[in-house]
Every structure is written in C-alpha cells, then in structure tokens.
Amino acid sequence: MTALAPAVSAIEVKDLECRYGATVVLHEISFTVRRGEIFFIIGGSGCGKSTLLRNLIGLHVPSAGTVNFFGESLADAGEQRQRELLRTFGVLYQGGALWSSLTLRENVALPLEEYTPLSPAERDELVALKLAQVGLTGYGDHYPAELSGGMRKRAGLARALALDPAIVFFDEPSAGLDPLTSRSLDELIRQIRDTLGTTCVVVSHELASIFAIADRVLMLDKSAKGVVAEGSPHNLCQPGADARARAFLTRGENHP
C-alpha cells in the first residue's frame, strides 16, 4: 500500500476552475471530502458533475485551482509519486467498463497484473476475495455479456477495488438499473465503506440513492457554474437551505 499522510481530509479542492477551451463550465469550486465519507456530487443534467469528476481524477487538467489527496497534490507530484497516488483511487465508470472478451476473473486481475508483483496463485486468491466482496462468488468464469446490468456494475466495482484504493469514484452508478438493483448497489457501496473504510465519491442525480447513503452532498448548478449548496441531504431540504437545492431534493414539492 502507498503511504498516505494520516489525519488529513481525503480530498481538498480549492478554487477549482474547469473549462473546455474558452468555455468555463465550473468556477470557484471549493470543498472537502472527509475520510471514510460517502460524498455525492449532485445537480441537474449538464451542470458539470462528470466534468468535475474528470478534473478531480486527473483525466482533465483544471484550468485553475488545486486538488489535494490526503494532503498531497496530484498535479505537483513527480511522475513516480503520481503513479503511486493514482493507485490509491478506484473508478467505477458508467456501464462498468469491463473488457467484453475477458472473463470476470481476468477483468479483475488486470490491475493486479499491471501494478503488483503478485504470483498467479496470489492473484487468483485476491480476485476470488474481490468477487466475494461484491457478492459475485462463483461468477469468475462468466463473460460480462452473460451478466445482468447490476452484476456488471458489481464486477466493475470488484475491479475498482482490486488495488485496495483509499478512494473510489463512481460516475452515475445507478444509471440503467431498476430501483431494486440500484438499491442493492447502494447497500454494497455502504458496506464497502463500513467494512473497508473506503472514501466514496459518487456522481448521481438519483434521489433514492442520495437519501439512502449520502453523508453529504455538493450541489452544482448550471447557471451558477458552481456550487450552490453543501451539506447533508436532510439539512438541504429544510426551510432556509438554498432554494435550488431544496427544489432539487424535494422535486419542487416544497419549493416556495
């Protein structure tokens, strides 16, 4: 495991600006994600949730501002340290992003082959453990196409967990899932956090998931091009909370 500084927040974002060419999508974004927290990034379509996620994990370079992970800046780290820090993240992309020509076992083994010196036998053992963690024991020899959408998400999560990440990022984990399957994925995310202490950052606009598992949410807004509210979903529904956040979280029913 990569050594990480103790007792600092998992992620600290300061004055971040995200743009595509000359178009600023988000500006003055500042927030902190605590260790072991389930933190949601929410907001209407096109407000910049996926953009923010891509800027956090280094797929896009922010046009201004800083992002620190456990007190360290990914952007300022040397190449070797960047590689180490990237190993401390897992990402569950929409659709699970599994290789269709590989079995589940092979899919989960990929990051282990790339980043660890484990022997094949040790790898097999770890893959079996990861599949068990997401409730897919016995499915190692299946191909992604043989699984339901919910199972593919679980398999994607097993792969995201392969290197024991300190933080897992999820982009719209419930997209395309029926409510019950979505609910069981929510429970799995909570279980991973509770048992492994993994910090979870979830991009979503699923109200059921937000109220079921989010400790805190960061709400983005397209016209504000930034953050309009931050707090527990419950608090953001109370009178006195930002009207846009309240309207979003109550589907407009409590909106003045």
Ligand X SMILES: Nc1ncnc2c1ncn2[C@@H]1O[C@H](COP(=O)(O)OP(=O)(O)OP(=O)(O)O)[C@@H](O)[C@H]1O
Site of interaction with ligand X (CB under 6 A): 20, 25, 43, 45-51, 205
Q: Which one of Mg ion, ligand X, none interacts with residue 20, CB within 5 to 8 A by kind?
A: ligand X
How far CA 134 is from CA of 51, 61, 140, in Å, comes to 28, 32, 12
Length in residues, the chain? 256
Provide the 8-state DSSP code for 118: -
Angstrom distance (rounded) from CA 201 to CA 39: 5
Q: Which one of ligand X, Mg ion, none interacts with residue 46, CB within 5 to 8 A by kind?
A: ligand X
Angstrom distance (rounded) from CA 78 to CA 240: 45
CB closer to ligand X out of 140 and 233: 233
**CB 18, CB 48: distance < 8 Å:** yes
- Tokens standing for residue 71: 């007190």
Shortest Cβ 23–ligand X spacing (Å): 6
Provide the 8-state DSSP code for 120: H
Shortest Cβ 153–ligand X spacing (Å): 17
CB closer to ligand X out of 185 and 219: 219
CB closer to ligand X out of 19 and 81: 19
Strands (E), 116-225: 167-171, 199-203, 216-221
CB closer to ligand X out of 80 and 223: 223
Shortest Cβ 205–Mg ion spacing (Å): 9
157: CB partners within 8 A, 6+ apart: 92, 134, 168, 188, 192
Shortest Cβ 223–ligand X spacing (Å): 11
Q: Is residue 211 classed exposed, middle or buried when 0-12, 13-18 and 19+ CB atoms within 10 A define those classes? A: middle
Q: Which one of Mg ion, ligand X, none interacts with residue 87, CB within 5 to 8 A by kind?
A: none
Shortest Cβ 240–ligand X spacing (Å): 26
CB closer to ligand X out of 51 and 107: 51
Sites of contact with Mg ion (CB under 5 A):
50
